[in-house]
Every structure is written in C-alpha cells, then in structure tokens.
Chains A and B, each alone.
Chain A
Amino acid sequence: MTASDDRESALDTILLEAEIERFFSAEAEMLDERRFDAWLDLLHEDLRYWMPIARNVRFDKPETEYTREHSEANWFDEGKDILRKRVLQIQGGDHWAEEPRSRTTHLVANVRVEAIDGADITVKSRFVVCGYRLEHDVDLFIGKRIDVLRRVDGKLKILRRAIYLDQSVLLSRNLTTFF
C-alpha cells in the first residue's frame, strides 16, 4: 500500500464521518423543530430502537450493567411501528405530557465510524438532549449511542439505535422525546 492509498482511505473515512455528522445534525433539527414525520422517514422499516436501563454492578460484571434487549426491562425496546404511534400521540394535541409541547435541543458529538459491513455502517457517538417544559421543568439526558446506518438507494437509514443513558434511576418524570 502506498502513502497515497493510505491518504485516500483516511479521506474516505473523513468524508463518510462528515456525511454522517450532517445526517445526525439534520435529524436533530427535525426533532427539535418537531418535524416528526420527516424524522420517521429516516428510520428503516426494520429499525430496532433500544434504550436499556443502567444498573450499579460490580466492576467484574460489566456485562450486567445495562439491561438486555429482548428479555429484560428497558426504557425502550421497540420497532418503528411503536415509534410511529408515539409520534401520532404527540401530534394529536391531547397527549398531556407533551401538550403544550416541550422545547428540546438535541446535540450529537464525537461521531466516529466503528465498522463498515457492506451497506451497513456502525457509528458511535455521544448525545446531550435538553428538554425544557412549561415554566420550570428541565430534563437533561446525556449518554452514548451506537447506531447502525444502512445505505438504501444512496440514502442513509437508521437500522438500529442503541441508546445508553448515563442515569440509572431516571431523574425525569417522562421520556417523551426521541434520541
């Protein structure tokens, strides 16, 4: 491999990460601007959306720190069908936990491509989600995300989203926002 090949492949990664960063920024903007139907369009039909619950465990049992998908309690462990219902619920104006609406800001950072497998790209990132609600209510959600993005007809779709929240006991009354 020549130096210029190395440079080529490094540039490929940078370009891909830049594309994904833009993708995530656009996604965050859709959520913050409450364009939920556009957001749903970013989700692959086979999406798995999973947010485990963090537990306080012994240092030598790290595999038990987060509850498992498909078998244990989780904050979220669902597909696009349920997310679609969540969007419909918010859009109706009668879901009191989001009526009047919260103001949210989604920040995504430290975006790094972890692996590429055919059309599927595994991406790690960090998120900060702030929600301000009514007069005095503040929600702050910070954590890590591992996404699998699939390129379908040239466009990125979210095939899998694992959301690791750093909180154990949820310090907010509700999780009405998307991550």
Chain B
Amino acid sequence: MRATDFIDLEAGTLSREIFSSEEIYRREVERVFAPAWSFVGHTSQLAKNGDFFLSRCGIEPVIVSRDQAGAINVLLNSCRHRGMPACRYDSGNATDFICSYHGWSYGLDGALVGVPKFRERYQGKLEREKWGLIRARVNVFHGSIWATFDDAALSFEDYLGPDMQFYLQALLQGPDGDDDGYEVIGGLVKWQVACNWKFGAENFAGDHYHGYSHISVERLSVGLSGKTSRHNFAAAKTPRQAMSVADPKRGHTIRASVFKDLAGYDVQAGAPDEVNDYYLKCHEERQKRLGDKARLLIHGGVIFPNTHFNSAGRTTIGLWLPLSAGKTEIWRWLFVPRNAPNIVKDTLREYYLRYAGPAGMVEQDDMENWTAAQHGTESLVARKYPFNYQLAMGLARPARADEWLGRDVSITEDVAEHNQRAFYAHWAERIADTP
C-alpha cells in the first residue's frame, strides 16, 4: 500500500474506501493506534491512593490506577493467565485486582501478587515477577494522563512536538490562565456511533465549515449564558481571526481564533451574575498571566490520531475508539475549573449536557450526519469517486510570522480543510508501506 493510493494532496482528494475497508481498519490498529500516545484520563480522577478507573489506551482496555506509593500506573486490563479483564468495575478504590476466573491477583501497580496453589501445584516455581499485568509507558502533562504500549514510540514530548505542547498546555489552563486549572466531573459519557472513527476525527480536527449542520441549534441560544448562540465567544465584540493550525510532521491539529487585541471582557454576555463575575475575574487574571498570548482562543482539535478535544468555554477531552471500520465508540471526559464556585461548575455542566454527546442538541446533528456519510463509503460505485478536500487549498502559511503560534505548524485562516488535509496526509504516511 502506498500513501498515494488514498490521498492526492495536489488534487485535494481522498479515497472513500478508507472509511469502510476492514483491511484498512486492521492496518490502522497496528500502524496508527498502536504507536501513538493516547489520552487515558486525568489526575483529578485519582485523588486518593488506591483510586482507579477503566479507560482505553489506543483501542486497548486499560486500568488507570494510583498505587499506595502515589504513582500513576496504566495497565493492560487483561489477566496474564487466560485474558479475563483483571478489573470489571468502571471505577473505584481498591487494594488489588482479583481476576474472577482462577483468582490471580494483581497489585495497583500491576504486579502479580497472588496465585492460587502457587506452592502446591506450581511448585513455587511460577516466576511471578514476569507475569504481572502489562504496563504502559505513562506521562502526566499538566494533570492529563497519557500512555502508550509501544516501547519504540518517541518520548511524549517529542510525540506532541513543541507546538502542540504549547496548545495542549493552553487547553488545560483554567479560565484564569492557571496551569492545571481543571478537574473532571464524575461519570464518563460513552456511546456508540455507526460510522468510521475518522469522520469524528476530521470534524474535530478542522471542520469550521459545517455550520449548516447546526442551524437548528443556532436558533435556540443554548450557550452558557442562555442568551447567545451556542458559543460563549459569540458575544465577543472584539474582532478575531479564526484559523486552522496543523503540525504536518505529526498529524496534530488545532482549531483556534486569535483576538485582534487584548480586549476587555465581553464574552459571557447575560450569564447569571455569579458566573459572569467569575469569568470577568478570570479574564483579567488570564491577561495578566499570559500577556499577548491571552489573545488565543482554542476551539478544539485532535492529538493524532484519536484524542480529541473541545474548548472555547467548554473543555472536554474524548477518544474515538473504533470497534470496526463502520462502528465507533466515543468516550468523553467533562472538565470544570477546579477553583470555580459551585454555581459556575454546575452552570457549565448543564451547558455540556445540552451541547455535547448523544443528548447534546449540537452534537446530535454531527452524529446523524457522520452515520449517514458512512453509507457513502460503502457503495461499490461510490467508492470509485473520492471525497473532495479542496476547501481553501493552497492558502496555507507557516506560522513564523506570529512566532508564538508555533514553529513547525502551518496555518490557514478562516474556513478551510487545511487541518483535514494534514491529518489524512499523516495518516496515509503511517498506513503506507512506501510513500
């Protein structure tokens, strides 16, 4: 397989087959997901030693735990004896994980600590230190926990690259610009969609173009304030430039805006007083902390391949978890500012619930459209005709002009399929045997 079998960057076209071929799905698992660093959760989910939750690393089921020494572990949730999940509770606090089949037990760090009939029938010879749960490499970045099972993978910092480190750090800053400013609210949102995972990924990567999908909700003022459209920044009077930012070497993408100047607070128009006061205070604090960089507003993006996030006043991080070429499970973590008063957390939480996920008035229309688009990748005739990715082609510029926006990234301003092209170009490189 060659990259050019799927993508023609000159023409701006992409094969439909990559959304429906099971063979390509199997290659993705090995070549795209396995070598990647994946978001697996947040330290606020592990407040106490012994706390754990189940997650996914790539598409692999994992246990994320804080052991008795306080260290964070990411363990493949598969018993070394016959492959049972060592843990079948979504979350909790434990001293060990006991496999329900033959009773092997594992410590919070994955060490095999108990084997029934160890002395009598294994004659004490089973090398317990070799049969612990498989441990992933772990990296904690401003509260977010990342993991990979690939020993050959780059370091987390190199995988992200310098520019995406900047954007991810910005994403995880609280509204006041404080690093590590968020906590996860209890309960992950998980649901299944009958479409290829890349429909979600490319939408989050850079689709500034699909306003038409959401016209119904634009009528209804579902924003945080309940008075402006679906986005809080819709109330801002300061002009801003929307942009697609892509790191072509690594496949990461960001949707963002840069405000023209460091303007006064004009974002949360009409929010309840206490909420408005909180955001006003944060706005000033953030400008003090970040200076000129406070002009940046991140809307969302994708850390290659399947970690996606939404920002711009509602911070969520999620995973696209393919189950097959045509089926995807979606997981979402909802974040609220750690130090905010409860009324802010609650108002924000209600905003997420009406916005995102299967009950979200905005995202419902995304899911509907992606599953319908999936049909367009299955017909034999249709598959001869590629998809069109020509929107704003050839208008990219390097970021060097505004140095703080990144060194390696390229940018296209306004509505564009710049990020989708970068995402798929990198994807095709990973999938291909030869360029």
A residues with CB within 8 A of B: 51-53, 55-58, 61, 64, 67-68, 70-78, 81-82, 85-86, 88-89, 92, 94-97, 137, 168-176
Interface residue from A55, A89, A95, A172 paired with B192 (Cβ < 8 Å): A172
B364 touches A97 (CB 8 A): yes
A77 touches B192 (CB 8 A): no
Query: Inside 8 A of A95's CB, which chain B residues have their CB?
Result: 216-217, 361, 364-365
Q: Which 4 A-B residue pairings sit nearest by Cβ, starting from the closest?
A: A73-B187, A67-B187, A72-B186, A170-B191
Given A78-B350, A95-B365: A169 in contact with B192 (beta carbons within 8 A): yes
How far apart sit A89 and B371, CA to CA, in the bound complex (Å)?
Answer: 20
A77 touches B365 (CB 8 A): no
Query: Inside 8 A of A170's CB, which chain B residues have their CB?
Result: 190-192, 358
Given A72-B187, A73-B187, A73-B353: A174 in contact with B364 (beta carbons within 8 A): yes
Query: Inside 8 A of B358's CB, which chain A residues have their CB?
Result: 75, 170, 172-175
How many pairs of A and B residues are in contact by the CB < 8 Å rule? 124
Query: Inside 8 A of B89's CB, which chain A residues have their CB?
Result: 56-58
Q: Which of B167-199 contact A (CB under 8 A)?
A: 185-194
Given A71-B185, A171-B192, A173-B191: A77 in contact with B353 (beta carbons within 8 A): yes
Query: Inside 8 A of B334's CB, which chain A residues have their CB?
Result: 73
Which B residue's beta carbon lies closest to that of A68?
B186
How far apart sit A170 and B368, CA to CA, in the bound complex (Å)?
Answer: 15
The answer to whether B249 has its CB under 8 Å from any CB of chain A is no
Interface residue from A74, A92, A174, A175 paired with B216 (Cβ < 8 Å): A92
Query: Inside 8 A of B349's CB, which chain A residues have their CB?
Result: 71, 73, 77
With a 10 A CB-CB cut-off, give which of A67, A72, A170 has the most chain B CB atoms: A170
Interface residue from A52, A81, A97, A171 paired with B368 (Cβ < 8 Å): A97
The answer to whether B276 has its CB under 8 Å from any CB of chain A is no
Which A residue's beta carbon lies closest to that of B361?
A89
Query: Inside 8 A of A56's CB, which chain B residues have their CB?
Result: 88-90
B186 touches A71 (CB 8 A): yes
Q: Which of B341-380 contact A (CB under 8 A)?
A: 345-346, 349-350, 352-354, 357-359, 361, 364-365, 367-369, 371
Which B residue's beta carbon lies closest to that of A66?
B187
The answer to whether B91 has its CB under 8 Å from any CB of chain A is yes
Interface residue from B91, B190, B354, B361 paired with A168 (Cβ < 8 Å): B190
Interface residue from B220, B329, B367 paired with A169 (Cβ < 8 Å): B329
| A138 to B: closest C-beta gap in Å | 11
Chain B interface residue count, CB cutoff 8 Å, equals 44
How far apart sit A162 and B72, CA to CA, in the bound complex (Å)?
Answer: 36
A78 touches B220 (CB 8 A): no
| A10 to B: closest C-beta gap in Å | 40
Query: Inside 8 A of B345's CB, which chain A residues have their CB?
Result: 71
How far apart sit A55 and B90, CA to CA, in the bound complex (Å)?
Answer: 6
Query: Inside 8 A of B100's CB, which chain A residues have their CB?
Result: none
Interface residue from A52, A89, A174 paired with B367 (Cβ < 8 Å): A174
Interface residue from A88, A172, A175 paired with B219 (Cβ < 8 Å): A88
How far apart sit A70 and B187, CA to CA, in the bound complex (Å)?
Answer: 12
Interface residue from A53, A70, A176 paired with B346 (Cβ < 8 Å): A70
Query: Inside 8 A of A94's CB, which chain B residues have their CB?
Result: 215-216
Given A89-B216, A89-B220: A96 in contact with B365 (beta carbons within 8 A): yes
A85 touches B220 (CB 8 A): yes
Given A57-B90, A82-B354, A97-B364: A73 in contact with B192 (beta carbons within 8 A): no
Query: Inside 8 A of A176's CB, which chain B residues have their CB?
Result: 364
Given A68-B186, A170-B191: A75 in contact with B359 (beta carbons within 8 A): yes
Q: What are 24 residue pairs bridging A and B, where the CB atoms are less than 8 Å apart in the complex?
A: A55-B91, A55-B187, A56-B88, A56-B90, A57-B90, A73-B185, A73-B332, A73-B349, A77-B350, A82-B350, A82-B354, A85-B361, A94-B216, A95-B365, A96-B216, A96-B369, A97-B367, A168-B190, A169-B190, A170-B190, A170-B192, A173-B193, A173-B194, A176-B364
The answer to whether B213 has its CB under 8 Å from any CB of chain A is yes
The answer to whether B116 has its CB under 8 Å from any CB of chain A is no
Query: Inside 8 A of A53's CB, which chain B residues have their CB?
Result: 187-190
B192 touches A72 (CB 8 A): no
Query: Inside 8 A of A70's CB, which chain B residues have their CB?
Result: 346
Which A residue's beta carbon lies closest to that of B334?
A73
How far apart sit A41 and B259, CA to CA, in the bound complex (Å)?
Answer: 44
Additional A-B contact list (12), CB under 8 Å, known A71-B349, A170-B358: A61-B92, A68-B186, A72-B185, A76-B359, A78-B350, A85-B361, A89-B219, A89-B361, A94-B215, A97-B364, A97-B367, A168-B190
How far apart sit A115 and B185, CA to CA, in the bound complex (Å)?
Answer: 33
The answer to whether B222 has its CB under 8 Å from any CB of chain A is yes
Which B residue's beta carbon lies closest to that of A57?
B89
Query: Inside 8 A of A171's CB, which chain B residues have their CB?
Result: 191-192
B365 touches A73 (CB 8 A): no
How far apart sit A126 and B47, CA to CA, in the bound complex (Å)?
Answer: 37
How far apart sit A31 and B365, CA to CA, in the bound complex (Å)?
Answer: 21
| B109 to A: closest C-beta gap in Å | 21
| A117 to B: closest C-beta gap in Å | 27
Which A residue's beta carbon lies closest to that of B193?
A173
Query: Inside 8 A of B213's CB, which chain A residues have their CB?
Result: 96
| A139 to B: closest C-beta gap in Å | 10
